[in-house]
Amino acid sequence: MLIRAFHRHDLVPLTELTIDTFRPFYEESFRPLVGEVVFANQHGDWREDYRRQVAGLHAPERHAHVAVAEAEDGLAGYVAWTVAPERRNGSITLLAVRARHRRNHVGTALCEHAFQEMRALGAEVVEIGTGGDPFHAPARALYEALGCTPLPVTVYYRRL
């Protein structure tokens, strides 16, 4: 596996990977959990939200970076991160791994790569967020295996 810097031609495949990765969360987990009104209000246009977000993830002039993992069979995943040099703080923005490459340490390698890059940019602390629902259990396990400390947070939604 090769981990390399983002190139403009990666934008469409990374956007598609992001939508494929998170579709089960939005459509099979979040939507049934909160109902149609809350879903529509919070994430009703989640695919377009990701199209906009992924397009802006790599902006080195704003300390925002993306690294791509390539395997023999193509794109395996990617990680996006930002660094706030004045705070010496880094943040993983998005991590997505193609389904056939999960459980093969791609996520670990991408995170470790991002951590190394953040350190080189002066970060001393990294923040990674994920959900507390069953869909996000593998992400929580990965982050804890990387030595991250979870901070319990609860978010409530209610239709008015």
Taking only the tens place, the pLDDT of each residue in 26-77 is 999 999 999 999 999 999 999 999 999 999 999 999 999 999 999 999 999 9
Residue 3 and residue 30: Cα distance in Å, rounded? Answer: 32
Q: Report pLDDT for 87.
A: 96
**54's tokens:** 């992924």
Contact between 145 and 23 (Cβ < 8 Å): no
pLDDT in tens, 90-142: 999 999 999 999 999 999 999 999 999 999 999 999 999 999 999 999 999 99
pTM (2 decimals)? 0.93
Q: Report pLDDT for 158.
A: 86
The dihedral over CA atoms of 8, 10, 11, 14, expressed in degrees to the nearest 10, equals -160
Backbone angles phi, psi at 71, to 5 degrees: -110, 180
Domains and CATH numbers, the chain: 2-145 (3.40.630.30)
